[in-house]
Amino acid sequence: MTVESSAAAAAAVAGELATWSGARRRDVLHAAATALEAAADAIIDTAADETGLTRQRLEGEMARTTGQLRLLGDFVADGRDRPVVRSAGAAPGGGDIVAVRVPIGPVAVFAASNFPLAFGVLGGDSASALAAGCPVVAKAHPAQPETARLVAEAVGPTLGAAFAVVHGGADVSLALVRAPQIRAVGFTGSAAGGRALMDAAAARPDPIPVYAEMGALNPVFVFPSALDDTRWPATLAAAVTGSAGQLCTKPGLVVVPDTEAGAAFADRLAAEVAATPAFERMLTPAMAAAHAAWHDRAPAAGGRPDAPEGGAVPFAVRVAGADLDGELLEEHFGPTVVIAQSDVDAYGGLAGRLEGSLTATVLAGERDDDAVRALLPALVDRAGRVIYNGVPTGVAVVDAMQHGGPWPAASGAFTSVGTAAVERFLRTVALQGLPERLTP
């Protein structure tokens, strides 16, 4: 289908979807999850072929994809997405004011390359839009066309005109955002891609919101109490290199104390990263080329430069905290991390220089409480999720999850994961003085 025909079909069915009860939306989302499970083997095999990701990783991602469809279905069936707020007798001259939430209308969703299922054409953005009662036109990622096609085929009989998939390049992306029937955009990807869609949406005669999640540096601050914990270097290295470092929550910066023990911790972390076997393939050749180019530019880069063509060799960059600037404070997709040594007293100032991030992590013990307490305001100011003694990779699809953050991690104050993600695709209407018999 073309952008024009898909957007027109979505607009034609939007009114009907808006009237569906939460129970009906739940039943449809549950049925879509069941349809995906029935087609899982073929979808996973194809996704592995198109991405180079392991079958084990993709099986877990399929479970997350179907799980979030069911979770969001249960959420709306309980009526939690559309609470009714009534201010009795508050209208000027008397009468009630009743606030209700309604679907925003057809939504354009852009599939991400690094999560071909959970953030693919029927990933979290599409699931939350459908849960809200909005039809979806999803743009397949150009690197994974067959995965998108199989997903669309599997759920087509269940979702019908409420879900369509289009294929193409940047011209198709811009045409979809500019389609007059589209009322909002969900995007997961690069900052450059997100900004291009935001600019196109803002230039429309009727600007529409773009909910763009664009990745982040995800800094980790290591405090003295954590330096003797032998698990952390290996655990952090696994988070840096997992899925070839192609996760939006990958730790891109680890800051350790400027002490002898801090240097030893940094040595162990760098060695663990460098000892990780080379990855035969990244998601796209462009990502592999960008990773290799960063190795060539990065100061004091460790690791081995002899990466397989299209693949990636893990490496760490060691610098002093005072030298953190420019590209050292930018996200670099791939199995790479910057390790910096800094006085613990300077952690707050360093955190204050960082751009907005999806996550910020603290590794510490009880005796570090005063220093951690002093750092927390800066981390809360810069990140959507603050983690204590854990790693940021792995995002729980639950009510409390916040997957977003200040610019440039995301385009606004929202989450693209968890039940609150549905809120992006609803708007509030106040009904003043309307008789109760007419109130939805």
Strands 336-342 and 315-320: parallel
Spatial contact of 139 and 109, defined as CB atoms under 8 Å apart: yes
Contact 102, 427 (CB under 8 A): yes
- What is the C-alpha to C-alpha distance for residues 178 and 161, in angstroms, rounded to an integer? 20
Q: Tell me whether the omega of the peptide bond preceding residue 219 falls within 30 degrees of 0, making it cis.
A: no
Q: How far apart are CA 177 and CA 180, in angstroms?
A: 8
By C-alpha distance, which of 404, 416, 390 is closest to 357? 404
Sheet with 336-342: list strands edge to edge.
Answer: 315-320, 336-342, 253-257, 219-222, 357-363, 383-388
Q: Which helix (H) or strand (E) holds 160?
A: none
What is the C-alpha to C-alpha distance for residues 188 and 411, in angstroms, rounded to an integer? Answer: 11
Helix-helix angle 22-38:55-77, to 10 degrees: 160
Q: Which residues are catalytic?
A: 213, 248
Burial category of 288 from C-beta neighbours within 10 Å (exposed 0-12, middle 13-18, buried 19 and up)? buried
Q: Could you give the dihedral angle defined by the CA atoms of residues 147, 150, 156 and 157, in that order, rounded to the nearest 10 degrees? A: -150
Q: Residue 69 is which amino acid?
A: L
Give Rg (Cα) of the chain: 23
Q: What gap in Å lies between CA 387 and CA 249, rounded to an integer?
A: 12
Name the strands in the sheet holding 107-110, side by side, starting at the edge strand that comes first in the sequence: 163-166, 136-139, 107-110, 184-188, 210-213
Q: List, in order, residues 6 or more apart from 431 with CB less than 8 Å away.
A: 97, 98, 99, 100, 439, 440
